[in-house]
Amino acid sequence: MMDDFLSSFPDLEYTIDDLIVENDKVVERYTASGTQTGPLGDLPASGRSATWTGINIFRIECGRIAEVWSEVDPLARNRQLIGDMP
């Protein structure tokens, strides 16, 4: 999945806004931005830039990621890529 995403946004930049560690969980709140030069799912390459936010929660077990939960706002990102929507 990440390879496809990096193909869509080859200049993708992530900024970690918060990193919280407690017990076996790591929470990362981030801001991402990039220019869509390749298709993203059903969206053809737009050449537009977008910025969006997300949160990842990782459960760590024996020093490795055992589970991941992610929340992202794809609607806000896609609206920036599509431009004016009715």
Q: What is the CATH number of the domain that holds 26?
A: 3.10.450.50
* Domain span including residue 26: 2-76
Question: Is 67 part of any domain?
Answer: yes
Does residue 86 lie in a domain region? Answer: no
Please check whether residue 59 lies inside any domain of the structure: yes
pLDDT digit string, tens, across residues 22-80: 999 999 999 999 999 999 988 999 999 999 999 999 999 999 999 999 999 888 999 99
| pTM recorded for the entire structure | 0.83
* Predicted pLDDT of residue 1: 66
On whether residue 84 sits in a domain, the answer given is no
22 belongs to a structural domain: yes
The DSSP H or E segment spanning 84 is none
Q: What is the pLDDT of residue 86?
A: 46
Which residues does residue 59 pair with via DSSP β-bridges, in sequence order? 25, 67
Q: For the chain, how many structural domains are there in total?
A: 1
pLDDT at 84: 63
Please indicate, yes or no, if residue 30 is contained in any of the structural domains. Answer: yes
Please compute, for residue 49, the number of CA atoms within 13 A of its CA located in the half-sphere on the CB side: 7
Whether 81 maps to a domain, the answer reads no
Q: Are 71 and 39 in contact (CB under 8 A)?
A: no
Average pLDDT for residues 9-14, to the nearest whole number? 95
